[in-house]
Chain A
Amino acid sequence: MTARSRHALLALTAAGLALSLAACAAPADDAASDTVTIRVAATVTPMTDAVEAAAEVIEEGYEVELVPVNDYVQPNVLLQHSEIDANVVQFEGFMEDFNAANDADLVVVQPVYATVVAFYSQSLTDLQELPQGGSIAIPNDRSNAGRALQLLAEEGIIELDPAVEPFQAGVADITANPRELEITQIDLLQLNTAYDEMDAVFNLPSFARQLGLTPAEDGLAVEQDPAFEVSLVTRADNADAPEIAALTRALTSDHVREVLEELGVPAAF
Chain B
Amino acid sequence: MNDFLASLAANADQIGIAMAETGYMLAFSLAAAVIFGLPLGVLIFLTRPGGVQERRPLWMVGNLYVTVVRSFPFLLFVVFLIPLTRLLYGTTFGTAAATFPLCFVGVAIYARLVEQILLEVPSGVLHAARSMGADVFQTVVHFLLVEGRSGLVYALTSASISLISYSTVLGIVGGGGLGDFALRFGYQEYDYPLMYTTIAIVIVCVLLLQTAGEKVSAVLDKR
Contact = CB atoms under 8 A, between A and B. Distances in A.
A7 interface: no
Contacts of B94: 184
B174 A185 contact: yes
Contact of B190 (A97, A194, A197): A97
B174 A73 contact: no
Interface in B162-196: 171-174, 184, 187-191
Nearest to A140: B184
B188 A197 contact: no
B187 A73 contact: yes
A101 B189 CA distance: 8
Contacts of A193: 82, 92, 173
Nearest to B190: A101
A186 B173 contact: yes
Contacts of A187: 171-174
A73 B190 CA distance: 9
A201 to B, nearest CB: 11
Contacts of A82: none
A140 B174 CA distance: 9
Contacts of B188: 72-73, 141-142
Contacts, number: 46
B154 interface: no
A190 B173 contact: yes
A197 B188 CA distance: 27
Interface string A128-141: 00000000010011
A196 B189 CA distance: 29
Contacts of B74: none
A39 B92 CA distance: 38
A94 B93 CA distance: 27
Given A193-B82, A197-B86, A186 B93 contact: yes
Given A184-B174, A186-B174, A189-B172, A102 B190 contact: yes
Interface string A176-211: 000000001111011001101100000000000000
Overall SS of chain A's interface: mixed
Interface in B73-94: 82, 86, 90-94
Interface residues of A, number: 20
Interface centre among A102, A193, A196, A197 (most CB of B within 10 A): A193
A29 B119 CA distance: 51
B190 to A, nearest CB: 3
Nearest to B184: A140
A101 B184 CA distance: 15
Nearest to A104: B190
A62 interface: no
Interface centre among B86, B93, B190 (most CB of A within 10 A): B93
A167 interface: no
Contacts of B187: 73
A83 B174 CA distance: 33
Contacts of B173: 186-187, 190, 193
A263 B92 CA distance: 29
B204 to A, nearest CB: 26
Nearest to A100: B190
Interface in B97-151: none
Given A193-B92, A194-B93, 15 more contacts: A72-B188, A98-B190, A102-B190, A140-B184, A142-B188, A142-B189, A184-B93, A185-B174, A186-B172, A187-B171, A187-B172, A189-B172, A190-B173, A193-B82, A197-B90
24 contacts: A73-B187, A73-B188, A73-B190, A101-B190, A137-B93, A140-B171, A140-B174, A140-B184, A141-B184, A141-B188, A142-B189, A184-B93, A185-B174, A187-B171, A187-B173, A190-B92, A190-B172, A190-B173, A193-B82, A194-B93, A196-B86, A197-B86, A197-B90, A197-B92
Interface of B: 82, 86, 90-94, 171-174, 184, 187-191
